[in-house]
Structure 1
Amino acid sequence: MNPLLQDFNTAPFTKISSDDYKPAIKKGIEIAKAEIDAIANSTDAPTFENTTVALDFTGEKLNRITSIFFNLNSAETNDDIQKIAQEVSPWLSEFRNDITLNEALFTRVKSVFDDRKNLDLTPEQQMLLDKQYKGFARNGANLNDEKKSKLREIDSKLSKLSLKFGENVLAETNAFEMHLTNEDDVSGLPDSVKEAASQLAKEQDKEGYIFTLQYPSYIPFLTYTDNRELRKKMAIAAGKKAFQDNEFNNEKIVLEIVNLRQQRASLLGYKTHAHFVLEERMAEIPEKVIEFSNNLLEKAKPAAQKEFENLEKYAKKLDGIDQLQKWDGAYYSEKLKKELFDLDQEVLKPYFKLENVINGVFEIANRLYDLNFEEVSTIEKYHPDVKTYNVTDNEGNFISVFYADYHPRKGKRNGAWMTSYKSQQIKNGVNERPHVSIVCNFTKPTATKPSLLTFNEVTTLFHEFGHALHGMLANTTYNSLSGTSVSWDFVELPSQVLENWCYEKEALELFAKHYETGEVIPMKYVEKIKESASFHEGMQTLRQLSFGLLDMKWHSENPSEITSVKDFEIDAFSETKLYPDVAENCMSTAFSHIFQGGYSAGYYSYKWAEVLDADAFEYFLEEGIFNKEVATKFKENVLSKGGTVKPMELYKRFRGQEPKPEALLRRAGLLEA
């Protein structure tokens, strides 16, 4: 019996074999098609219940199966899974088109939509109907048969290309390693980093140290290694992922993806892919995003240039370096930061034992939102590293299942993300609770030390956990409006706002305790963390804006004339460039957020949400970071509402006003005194 086709509550990971996926997905599509056909071919007059609501509840079995499959393709993949993904993605793309291009179904949806003023719907019901209708209209329901066929062809190609893009990046990440046996070559590296690299070498029966492009290895190497040539070698290897003359090159794929997206947008009556995407976002149009980005750029650029000049002078004074290169930035920044603030990341790490940070974020969630986390062994896992929890409120009501997966592996892509295995919804009077997961890539414990996080990793954990809270506290009727199913430039608010607690003494005292002595992090370090929070903020802002503007340039103009990915990118970076270009490197060929993830024409949303989060956190600071009244307002108006109300309306309900960008500029130290 196929475990994916049985009824299950939590995902039956230990029972699944690779052979189960294709038949399960095929059957899931069949079941969902039958559900769709029953609605489309009904002889009853279309109503909100028998059409709009019925349609929202279709495809549950398929969604559960595909969420397991694609989550594993990101977190625990192998050759079999990648091969299956290439096969089933076009099936799923075809199935989605079978829904949106089903004329009989659209006729019923449109009939309910046209009659909406006579239906006495709640705001949530109105939102569901509106989103559903737009989902059809924006994805080709009004096209003629020839154009519908063309749309299917484009969508099928896009689904395969984005998968291939991701596979190439992963293959290139795994293909590179730097094996060092000379002690001089690891000069400057902290003992904990050397120990991890030594452990990696031992696992391969080698002497010395092995460094890889996985973040816990790559970032410390660039930050601390004294040997400039080795830093250069490592940085160039990272920068040329999928930009080499081999089978994993993504240049053609990038051009194919942007051209297909443009063709799709044009087919649907939009000027560009960005116009199509942004219509349903807070920003609404590309021009508004570009204006928003340029306004921030205007404020950040003078600060960034000044910071860069100071860093160049510092590197010249220290080591006689005439031209600062990309592989020098992290190294000299860390040295300068240490000098200015007497703050060494390595001195902080013993206070950030992974288990303590996890308990800390749980405690903060309890103080703010009355949540309790109990680790359990009864929930199946897809890897021994994964931790599983039951989440309840203070009354003992079940809130969510929570999975957490913290360490890098060969089958796991780089970075950190939150995902879901089951959405929250209210069906037949039962509030079905969500199953939520976060996946990160933090340094593994070694033979002598537990997993000790850098401060950046601490903020990453809080960020992903903020997304998880958005999923866990979902409390809407319809799953398509539940949890993180919100406008893409609003989805980063819950994650980014939670990062702010990492800088507050009251919060740090809960979890920042020395792993050996139990000593709470000294106040002088807390003050230094806060003082240094806006260190090189101009350069950091410029970097984020450069990624967002590159994304917008790819997607807000017609890409059909572009022949060189590299030349296009150089042009896109012209206004945000600080370091000299590296000929062998290209950002776009490994820019997974926009070519594999869901951030195309949406990368700006990180900065957009920063304006929201800085403004929101000022409210907490005014009333107290654990103020129950403010926390309850945030929970009830933001975290639990999902996409049931327009984002700006939700924000105003919480804050009482629209966000002010000054809060972000103040926090970043970019506001003139």
Structure 2
Amino acid sequence: MLAVRRSSGAGGGTNTCRRWFARSPAPRTLSRLTWHGRKCDTPAVAAVSATARPAAAASGRFLAGGDDFRSNGFRRRNAHSVATTSRQPQRQQRISSWLSPSSSSLLATAARQGTGRRSFATGLQGVAGVGSASEDPAGGALTPGVAGVEGLHRPEDFAPLAAAAVVESDRLRKPISTGEVSTPLGILRGVDAISNTVCSVIDAADFVRNAHADEGFRVAADEAFSVLAEYIQDLNADDSLYRALCGVVEEEGAMDGFTGEQRRVVGLHMAEFERGGIHLSGEERAEVVALQNEATRLERLFEHNILAKRAAFQVNRKDLHGIPEFILSRIPQPEGQPADRFTLLTDQSLMSDVIKNARSGALRRAMYLAGNSVAAENVQVLERLMAVRHKLALRVGFDSHAHRMASEKMAENPEEIARFLEALSAGIRDKAEQEASMLRQAKMEVEGSSELYAWDISYYMGYVKSRECNLDGRSLSEYFTLGGCLEGLRMVCRGLFSISLEQVPIEPGENWAGRSGGGVRKLVLRHEQEGVLGTIYLDLHRREGKFGHAAHFTVRCGCYQLPTVVLVCNFGLPEPPPDGGNAKQSKERSGKDDGRLMSHSEVETLFHEFGHALHSLLSRTELQHVSASVPDAVHRVRRGLRQQRRHYRTGEAPPPALLDGLHRSKTLFAGLGIQTQLLYATLDQQLFGRQPEGGVWSSASVADALQERIAGLPRCEGAFWHSRFGHFTGYGASYYAYLYAKMFTSAIWERHFAKDPLNSDAGELLWKELLIHGGAKDPHEMLRVLLGEEQGSGGDAGLRAGVTSLLKDTGAVAT
């Protein structure tokens, strides 16, 4: 029923887009669930077998006019759609302990006029028996804190905020449960208001626990997140809310005046309840609760181990050749260390830097082994998670976790997902083999051996690109400053959507990056006619304790208030050389980091993440349940921003030869790039698909076998590369969605933007026919408008056309 929003990430294990309990895949508007109305049988009326398919997926239609419900699901999909648990007293005790005298005024405000507080804005104007939105009561106003969240200034503030969310949500659901709110629209809006109330706090907690520089904040946020996640279980298993929605479905003519969005959200809520086991008997639902709690615990443990498990090892300084000095300068060294030794850490970002740049094959191998063994205990954690998810899926009527997750997506089932992955694999096979042959030849030239290992791929890709494309990463970075890239984003917003991107001062309590501020920026989007659309914070620097990849966090959705999102990245952002006069002037004009240089991959990541944020801010839905995230259109538009490429020192445009080399480098290893994504997606599907009788697959054996079959790379004894693949927790059985979404965005780019990336008519079409709707419309319907009947409707012809567009767009076609 509820959703927490963290999305994005560029895939490939470099940029992580994770989901927590009710998380949906990155291409949120491209997921699908077909739900048909029926007469509701609740546990109070009739128990359903544990192996029965959720009835909402197999029942007859009640809708007229050809409408049905096709879900893109919650922003973070359903690890908590379960019944009330035996842990409820413990949770209530924790909440009660938070109700200190210091929080009494906040809670009193929540109890009196929760709908009037922006923190828990519910938008319940006109909902009978609940009250209407009003201004903050005198004396009860909260000042903006971290990322603009009202009342969040200290770690201790999370406790009363979370407790107030529970108090307010219980206040909102009581009149629905008792029948005091009985109108169909009042019930729907009330349920949606509960979702918004909880998400206003749990979304903020999810962000803070992953990004705040202060450990006290991270711990407090994690505690609040845990308590509210358990509370969501109660909401998602509340029989009275489910029966109230059943009444909306069953009453003849009850939805005659509903909009398409309202009808869709009713269907999404009903199907979500049933996927979580609301149709099961009490004993069976209690088991679902226990399984869901255990899955949540294992997901958090897996993520914790990725971040917390680290090791240090010493190497000879001479082996560091090839690693840029600005990378090495960030690594703290122990006192008294011999001058010829250097200590490396197994942090994921540093591991990637070393393997990509170190000329010493021995050092790359050592880093690969150290980095992929430090969290070896995650192998057992993952396999326990596989077992729990599989058992849970069986209990609620699905063949596997993969089947359960696919039921809400456009692909609909694992078999269709496999068909897509196989079609794409066949399309890139020849190109990928040609590229692998180039790498083997390069390694033979350098090391006298042609056998490729996992730690060789990124290094020799860079080696061959430098040679074949006359491309040097440092020289290329000199044309990409942070300030120039931000101006490019402004150009996209102006050109496509008539939106200005304005940097505004950050208030003292808003920053979360420590004393220095960490380079956090605050940007406001303003439309020529519609005014302010929302706020984007940029948190781009690496720092201790921060989420290690790139992600887009929704701190506040935009249904009942202006949305707030945060882009979290981990860029190296080296300072330009001392003679960078123009860069210094730029710093003085715009910001202290504007002159910092960016690699081309970092530029791509920034535009990719900004695309997620822009969709969140451009969607305009009535109901929180379908507020938005993300086709990657803005990421594609960066291709047309050549005028923003200027040398940091001279201000000159890059020479044509450099641009030509950059263009060729983007397609030089496109086949292997997609092949890597296919490896991750296939592994994800197999680990969370059907399991052998009496147990689960050995994750290490499956990972090693697929790596050899798909990527042609031998296993490395003692290395468990999949133990640090964070997508398993949030994207379990959904990682394929990166490629699936790319298939559609490639087609949209080709049809509407390839000839003129800043075509305002195309931008208006994209906004009004896709982005603005969030998840409020059937994705097939939106795609048919943008791509035509064949490609928008799916089927064999649509799949062939989509794969062809993807291969053409990425350059992954053999020559």
Q: Which residue matches 1:533?
A: 666
Q: Distance in 1 between matches of 2:750 and 2:201?
A: 42
Question: What is the RMSD of the two structures over their aligned residues, measured on CA atoms?
Answer: 2.6
- Quote how far apart the aligned CAs of 1:139 are: 1.4
Partner of residue 611 from structure 2, selected from 441, 466, 483? 466
Which is helix-richer, 1 or 2? 1
Q: Is the 8 A contact 1:194 1:209 kept in 2?
A: no
Q: Which residue matches 1:434?
A: 563
- Quote how far apart the aligned CAs of 1:242 are: 1.1
Q: Which residue matches 2:303?
A: 166
Higher relative contact order (CA 8 A, sep 6+): 2
Unaligned runs of 5+ in 1: 244-248, 427-431, 485-490
Q: Distance in 1 between matches of 2:154 and 2:254?
A: 51
Q: Distance in 2 between matches of 1:644 and 1:372?
A: 26
Q: Distance in 2 between matches of 1:570 and 1:226?
A: 26
Q: Which residue matches 2:511?
A: 381
Q: Distance in 1 between matches of 2:775 and 2:530?
A: 27
3-state DSSP class of the match of 1:648?
A: helix
3-state DSSP class of the match of 1:453?
A: coil
- Quote how far apart the aligned CAs of 1:80 are: 4.4
- Quote how far apart the aligned CAs of 1:91 are: 3.1
Q: Which residue matches 2:741?
A: 609
In the alignment, residue 156 of structure 2 is paired with which amino acid?
A: D
Q: Distance in 1 between matches of 2:303 and 2:512?
A: 21
Q: Provide Cα deviations, 1:416-468, integer angstroms capped at 9, x if missing partner.
A: 01111111115xxxxx2211111001004448575321111111111100001
Partner of residue 648 from structure 1, selected from 760, 768, 780? 780
3-state DSSP class of the match of 2:648?
A: coil
Q: Which residue matches 2:402?
A: 274
Taking a change above 3 Å as real, the CA distance of residues 52 and 118 of structure 1, as seen in their structure-2 partners, is: closer
262-271 or 519-528, larger mean C-alpha shift: 519-528
In the alignment, residue 113 of structure 1 is paired with which amino acid?
A: V
Q: Distance in 2 between matches of 1:630 and 1:576?
A: 38
3-state DSSP class of the match of 1:440?
A: strand
- Quote how far apart the aligned CAs of 1:30 are: 2.6
Q: Distance in 1 between matches of 2:530 and 2:255?
A: 38
Structure 1 position 251 matched with structure 2 position 251: no
Q: Is the 8 A contact 2:210 2:546 kept in 1?
A: yes
- Quote how far apart the aligned CAs of 1:381 are: 1.7
- Quote how far apart the aligned CAs of 1:300 are: 1.7
- Quote how far apart the aligned CAs of 1:188 are: 2.3
In the alignment, residue 39 of structure 1 is paired with which amino acid?
A: I
Length-normalised TM-score, structure 1: 0.89
Q: Distance in 2 between matches of 1:459 and 1:481?
A: 27
In the alignment, residue 415 of structure 1 is paired with which amino acid?
A: H
Q: Which residue matches 1:488?
A: none
Q: Which residue matches 2:290?
A: 153
Structure 1 position 62 matched with structure 2 position 198: yes
Q: Distance in 1 between matches of 2:725 and 2:395?
A: 26
Once the two structures are superposed, the pairs formed by residues 128-527 of structure 1 within 5 Å of their partners are 128-172=265-309, 175-177=310-312, 182=317, 184-189=318-323, 193-201=324-332, 211-214=344-347, 217-243=350-376, 249-379=377-507, 380-383=510-513, 384-385=517-518, 386-395=520-529, 397-426=531-560, 432-446=561-575, 448=577, 450-484=595-629, 491=630, 494-495=631-632, 497-504=633-640, 507-509=641-643, 511-527=644-660
Q: Distance in 2 between matches of 1:331 and 1:644?
A: 44
Percent of aligned pairs with the same amino acid: 22
Partner of residue 761 from structure 2, selected from 618, 629, 641? 629
Q: Distance in 1 between matches of 2:297 and 2:456?
A: 37
Q: Provide Cα deviations, 1:480-525, integer angstroms capped at 9, x if missing partner.
A: 11122xxxxxx4xx22x32223333xx121x221111111222322
3-state DSSP class of the match of 1:457?
A: helix
Unaligned runs of 5+ in 2: 1-101, 110-116, 120-142, 579-594, 793-800
In the alignment, residue 648 of structure 1 is paired with which amino acid?
A: H
In the alignment, residue 16 of structure 1 is paired with which amino acid?
A: H
In the alignment, residue 226 of structure 1 is paired with which amino acid?
A: R
Q: Distance in 2 between matches of 1:205 and 1:642?
A: 57
Once the two structures are superposed, the pairs formed by residues 519-598 of structure 1 within 5 Å of their partners are 519-558=652-691, 560-562=694-696, 564-595=698-729, 597=730
Q: Provide Cα deviations, 1:320-378, integer angstroms capped at 9, x if missing partner.
A: 12422222222222111111111122210111112221221122122111121221224
29-38 or 447-456, larger mean C-alpha shift: 447-456
Q: Is the 8 A contact 2:387 2:696 kept in 1?
A: no
Q: Distance in 2 between matches of 1:463 and 1:116?
A: 46
Q: Which residue matches 2:247?
A: 111
3-state DSSP class of the match of 2:331?
A: helix
3-state DSSP class of the match of 1:154?
A: helix
Q: Distance in 1 between matches of 2:788 and 2:226?
A: 46
Q: Is the 8 A contact 1:197 1:209 kept in 2?
A: no
Q: Distance in 2 between matches of 1:301 and 1:38?
A: 59
Length-normalised TM-score, structure 2: 0.74
In the alignment, residue 760 of structure 2 is paired with which amino acid?
A: K
Q: Distance in 1 between matches of 2:326 and 2:394?
A: 54
334-343 or 25-34, larger mean C-alpha shift: 25-34
Q: Is the 8 A contact 1:90 1:157 kept in 2?
A: no
Taking a change above 3 Å as real, the CA distance of residues 116 and 515 of structure 1, as seen in their structure-2 partners, is: farther
3-state DSSP class of the match of 1:169?
A: helix
- Quote how far apart the aligned CAs of 1:86 are: 6.1
Q: Distance in 2 between matches of 1:423 and 1:526?
A: 39
Once the two structures are superposed, the pairs formed by residues 70-81 of structure 1 within 5 Å of their partners are 70-76=206-212, 80=216
Taking a change above 3 Å as real, the CA distance of residues 351 and 578 of structure 1, as seen in their structure-2 partners, is: same
Q: Distance in 1 between matches of 2:745 and 2:436?
A: 27
Q: Which residue matches 1:487?
A: none
Q: Distance in 2 between matches of 1:461 and 1:4?
A: 38
Q: Is the 8 A contact 1:198 1:209 kept in 2?
A: no
Taking a change above 3 Å as real, the CA distance of residues 633 and 152 of structure 1, as seen in their structure-2 partners, is: same
- Quote how far apart the aligned CAs of 1:600 are: 1.1
Q: Distance in 1 between matches of 2:745 and 2:280?
A: 40
- Quote how far apart the aligned CAs of 1:76 are: 2.1
- Quote how far apart the aligned CAs of 1:651 are: 1.5
Taking a change above 3 Å as real, the CA distance of residues 74 and 87 of structure 1, as seen in their structure-2 partners, is: closer
Structure 1 position 26 matched with structure 2 position 163: yes
Q: Distance in 1 between matches of 2:770 and 2:304?
A: 35
Q: Distance in 2 between matches of 1:462 and 1:632?
A: 19
Q: Is the 8 A contact 1:36 1:99 kept in 2?
A: no
3-state DSSP class of the match of 1:373?
A: strand
- Quote how far apart the aligned CAs of 1:666 are: 1.5
- Quote how far apart the aligned CAs of 1:68 are: 1.7
- Quote how far apart the aligned CAs of 1:83 are: 4.9
3-state DSSP class of the match of 2:570?
A: coil
How many residues get paired? 642
- Quote how far apart the aligned CAs of 1:287 are: 0.2
3-state DSSP class of the match of 2:674?
A: helix
Taking a change above 3 Å as real, the CA distance of residues 408 and 188 of structure 1, as seen in their structure-2 partners, is: same
Q: Which residue matches 2:810?
A: 668
3-state DSSP class of the match of 2:332?
A: helix
- Quote how far apart the aligned CAs of 1:641 are: 0.7
545-554 or 432-441, larger mean C-alpha shift: 432-441
